[in-house]
Amino acid sequence: MPVISTQKDADQLTLTVVTEHAATPERVWQLWEDPRQLECWWGPPTWPSTVDSFEFAPGGQVASHMTGPDGSTAGEWWEFVTIEPHRTLSFDNGFAHDDGSRNHELPVMRCTVTIEGQGDVTRMTTVSVFSSPADFDSVLQMGMAEGMTEAMGQIDGVLAG
């Protein structure tokens, strides 16, 4: 499994997942810039993701949904803030209603991804930052830490394919 750590920090309101992969930074970057590859790992195995729209550029937006084992769906949105190819990207991420519109009643987090080559291995660090303790607790109670760990555990399979 490529996940080497998952850390919850209530003081800093962060969830950090670190993975390592036997691939170049350029190859790991493709996991983010190609929506078809993103679909293969973004959701946990029991809640796979479908990307409905995708604009990979600063200010660009993503609409997607995950489908649960019982057929229910959970929508989400992203808005890219920064993109530095093969190195880092950040985006705001939140929940969406069934019609795709943003659900302002649920938490929004800022996710920052850093990709660093270290010899024959590439380390990817994903830090999600929450705006309040209530938002942090709410999303963790939904299972986000476990879901992200399971989702990112699928990455090496995507890289191999």
Q: What's the one-letter identity of residue 158?
A: V
Question: What are the helix (H) ranges across the chain?
Answer: 25-33, 35-39, 133-141, 144-152, 155-160
> How distant, in Å, are the alpha carbons of 66, 118, 151 from that of 137?
21, 34, 20
Tens-digit pLDDT profile for residues 63-104 = 999 999 999 999 999 999 999 999 999 999 999 998 889 999
Structurally, at CATH architecture level, domain 3-160 sits in: 2-Layer Sandwich (3.30)
Q: What's the one-letter identity of residue 107?
A: P
Tens-digit pLDDT profile for residues 138-158 = 999 999 999 999 999 999 999
Q: How far apart are CA 117 and CA 81, in angstroms?
A: 23
Cβ atoms 78, 93 nearer than 8 A: yes
- pTM for the model stands at 0.94
Domain map of the chain by residue range?
3-160
